[in-house]
């Protein structure tokens, strides 16, 4: 089990805007609304990533699913969820821009 690979994949979900490109259960370009990574402990069945897409579809990934992940010819991440379904993701960089508020903005 390559725990460094798993941690790198989890960090992608923390640092980027994620788009679900396709999965066996759902098709279309849907935005991942919630990405909740957990600790890597070196156990294949340990669920390390929970994703919620469009509020009504969720998918879970274990360490073994992330360990066997690949980057496809389109430059997208592909990995199997805990149900054994293949899922493809596209990542887009988040650009954080600071906004200076004044009291009048909230009063």
**pLDDT given at position 33:** 82
d(CA 96, CA 68) in angstroms, rounded, equals 31
- Domain region containing 67: 3-105
Query: Which runs of consecutive H residues, i.e. helices, occur in the chain?
Result: 3-15, 63-67
4 pLDDT exceeds 70?
yes
Q: Is the pLDDT confidence value at 96 over 90?
A: no
> Quick one: pLDDT band at residue 26, thresholds 50, 70, 90?
low
CA 87 and chain centroid, separation: 10
pTM of the model: 0.79
Q: Residue for token digits 């009048």?
A: 104
Give me the CATH number covering residue 77: 2.30.29
CB neighbour class for 106 (10 Å; exposed up to 12, middle 13-18, buried from 19): exposed
Q: What is the pLDDT of residues 52-90, one digit of tens each?
A: 887 778 889 999 999 999 999 989 999 999 999 899 898
- How many structural domains does the chain have? 1
Residue linked to tokens 């430059």 = 75
Residue 100 pLDDT: 65
Looking at residue 32, its pLDDT comes to: 82
Give yes or no for residue 97 having a pLDDT over 90. Answer: no
């Amino acid at each position: 089990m390559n725990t460094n690979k798993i941690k790198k994949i989890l960090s992608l979900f923390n640092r980027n805007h994620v788009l679900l490109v396709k999965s066996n259960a759902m098709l279309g370009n849907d935005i991942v609304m919630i990405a909740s990574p957990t600790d890597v402990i070196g156990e294949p069945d340990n669920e390390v990533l929970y994703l919620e897409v469009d509020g009504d579809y969720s998918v879970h990934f274990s360490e073994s699913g992330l360990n066997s992940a690949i980057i496809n010819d389109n430059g997208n991440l592909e990995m199997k969820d805990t149900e054994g379904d293949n899922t493809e993701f596209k990542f887009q960089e988040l650009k954080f821009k600071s906004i200076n508020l004044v009291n009048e903005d909230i009063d």
